[in-house]
Amino acid sequence: MTVTHHAVRPARTDSIFFPVMALLMGLTAFAGFWPTFYLRPFTHSTKLLTPILAAHGTTFTLWVALMVVQTGLIAANRRDVHRKLGWWGAGLAAVMLVLGIAAGIETLRRGFTLPGSPLNPASFFVVPVGAMVAFAPLVILGIINRRRADYHKRYMLLSTLAILTAAIARIPRLEAPAVFFALTDLFIVAVMAYDVAIRGRVHRATLISAAILIASQVGRLMIGPTEWWQAFANLFV
């Protein structure tokens, strides 16, 4: 009876925790991009929204929305629909990788960097590139582990953090890289705390995801200002 109880408890609490986390990620994305994307017609934003940036924003929004829907489907015990949408999600992730890099190149060519950020455009280019470098392996791990639900849901949810940093960085007064990376990591801390509360230890998938995300953050902070990265970025200008 004890084994059954412990097996059921995570499933019941997961049906609350993961949808709530996905919803919070969606709200964070909205908070970062509502002036320049979601409510653009009402804010009269002067920032140019090119076709590539529009496609980029749309596909990344679809991903966050998909996370909300997918976690909700599992909570509602609609695994059949969840699996069908999952393969669409895999295709969407592939498109996102291409558009993520393309959008990064376009913003580099426009000389974009965050207002108040210490990063020049060439240094800032490492942020979107690094996001895709972190996003891809986490999604791949999620797909590989699709039959191991506890691994799959953590990889897919935490992969979203790789792209959520861009939204956090656009919230006023959060433009410094150390700040927007630290706030991104609060989501990782939340998942770790949940793992400990429910399972007594941090799940292996959470640890692997955290290692990939944090390594990508530290790597970007170290690589962005280097001369060789500046030279690499200037190849696309």
- Percentage of the chain with pLDDT > 70? 93
Mean pLDDT of 88-101: 95
**CA Rg, the chain, in Å?**
18
Position 11 confidence tier, pLDDT thresholds 50, 70, 90: low
Position 114 confidence tier, pLDDT thresholds 50, 70, 90: confident
Q: Which of 5, 156, 158 is nearest to 73 (CA)?
A: 156
For the chain, give me the number of helices (H) and strands (E)?
A: 10, 0
Judge whether residue 8 has pLDDT over 60. no
128 touches 107 (CB < 8 A)? yes
Q: Which of 220, 235, 231 is nearest to 124 (CA)?
A: 220
Position 171 confidence tier, pLDDT thresholds 50, 70, 90: confident
Q: Using alpha carbons only, what angle is made at residue 177 by residues 217 and 36, rounded to the nearest 5 degrees?
A: 110
Give per-residue pLDDT as tens, 127-150. Answer: 999 999 999 999 999 999 999 999
Mean pLDDT of 213-229: 93
Start-to-end CA distance of the chain, whole Å, equals 64
More confident residue, 146 or 46: 146
pTM of the model: 0.89
* Token output for 45: 């934003």
- The SS3 assignment for 37 reads helix
Give per-residue pLDDT as tens, 155-169. Answer: 999 999 999 998 998
Give the length of the chain.
Answer: 237
Judge whether residue 60 has pLDDT over 90. yes
d(CA 50, CA 71): 32
Position 3 confidence tier, pLDDT thresholds 50, 70, 90: very low
Q: Residue 116: its pLDDT value, please?
A: 65
